[in-house]
Structure 1
Amino acid sequence: MTTVLLALHYQNDVLHEKGKIRVGIEENSSQRQGIICAATALLQQARQHEVAIVHVRVAYRADYADLATNAPIFAGVRQLQAVQEGSWGSAFFTGLAPLESSPLEFEVIHKRINAFYASTLEAILNQLKPDRLVIAGVATHSVVESTVRHAVDMGFNVTVAAAACGAPAQAHEASLKSMSLIAHIYNDVDMAYLFKEKIS
């Protein structure tokens, strides 16, 4: 079984303690550090097992002309002046960026909630031809869940690496419970097992 890892929104504005979007996680929260450690381990294990990684960023023009206006979450991005392309905030968090020298790592930029929508993600996966996707990122109840649902509808077996996902506690747990109907929820902090064994 061929596996690809989707790493969603590990960006400064989303994950850094000084970021503009903190998805309800307090600046000095231990939860934040836990997500960073788990995401770091997830990327390390994928690389050690030669698993392809697609790193997904959300980013908009400085004038937000490419930002949709139909949902409160988009209005919030504009109000915060967050994830502007070329800014520190839209860049990957230190240590969680793609390895530019690796032929197994890819970057995708998207502008909606679902990482597949109007992006190059599907084309990259068509090239890699995985059977299974491991998905993690921030926020659990937003980009992660919407991307998981799309991936399942496309026919992929999906595993969510819960420790490397983040959101306010209640939303995080509710989203994992909802996704458990369609995807395997991997709660262990041992990220190596994700790539050593077939998770069914």
Structure 2
Amino acid sequence: MSSIYLVLDMMNDLVHADGPNGKAAYGEQVRARRIIENTRRAIDKARAAKLPIGFVRVGFSPDYRECPANSPIFSGARKNGVFKLGTWGTETHPDLGQQASDFDIVKHRVSPFYGTNLEVILRTHGVRRIYCSGISTNAVVQAIVREGHDRDYEMIVLEDACCGLSTEEHEGAIKSFQRFCKLSSSTEVAFE
């Protein structure tokens, strides 16, 4: 069975200490849970196991033409000038070591499947197992777990490389979707 590791929304706007969320709740959770270090450990292990790696990023054109006007989660993007493609904010955190050979999946909604090239990548490479982690647990991670499950992929979440705005939000999300996936961690995972 072919596998892939998807790193979800680990962009500077969300996780970098100098980004707009660096001093806010996400930044606190990223540091407290050692999300960057744990994600890098998982990436290095996936590379050693010769797994393809995909970096999923949320982003919009400079004029925000793809940004839904009535979305509670994205309404602040245009107002705050975040998630703008082609800027530092939508680049993957530099400590994660993204390479040119990695897949780059740009999305305009919460789900990495919706309106992206993800399904084509998975089919082309015969992927049946998706390892994933990222931010936030109750948004992109939950979305890919549920949709991946319903598309018949084996879903494995690296829990120690995920976080929400709070510990409670993260733990609540894990409880709500753990029936649809297997849980592992960056230290325990054995990429196959």
> Fold match, TM over 0.5?
yes
Q: Structure 1: state its 5+ residue gaps.
A: none
Matches within 5 A, 1:1-200: 1-21=1-21, 24-27=25-28, 30-31=31-32, 34-100=34-100, 102=101, 105-167=102-164, 168-186=166-184, 188-191=185-188, 193-195=189-191
The farther-off stretch of 23-32 and 126-135 is 23-32
Cα displacement (A) at 1:49: 0.3
Contact 1:136 1:160 in 2 (8 A): yes
Contact 2:132 2:141 in 1 (8 A): yes
Residue identity in the other structure for 2:140:
V
Q: C-alpha separation between the residues in 1 aligned to 2:58 and 2:28?
A: 21
Change (3 A) 1:97 1:58: farther
Cα displacement (A) at 1:78: 2.0
* Matched residue count: 190
Cα displacement (A) at 1:155: 0.1
How large is the Cα RMSD of the aligned pairs?
1.8
TM-score by length of 2: 0.92
Q: Which runs of 4+ in 1 moved over 4 A?
A: 26-29
Deviations 1:39-86 (A, max 9, x none): 100110000000111111111112212101232111122222111111
Q: C-alpha separation between the residues in 2 aligned to 1:97 and 1:68?
A: 31
Q: Structure 2: state its 5+ residue gaps.
A: none
Change (3 A) 1:4 1:38: same
Change (3 A) 1:189 1:123: closer
Residue identity in the other structure for 1:65:
R
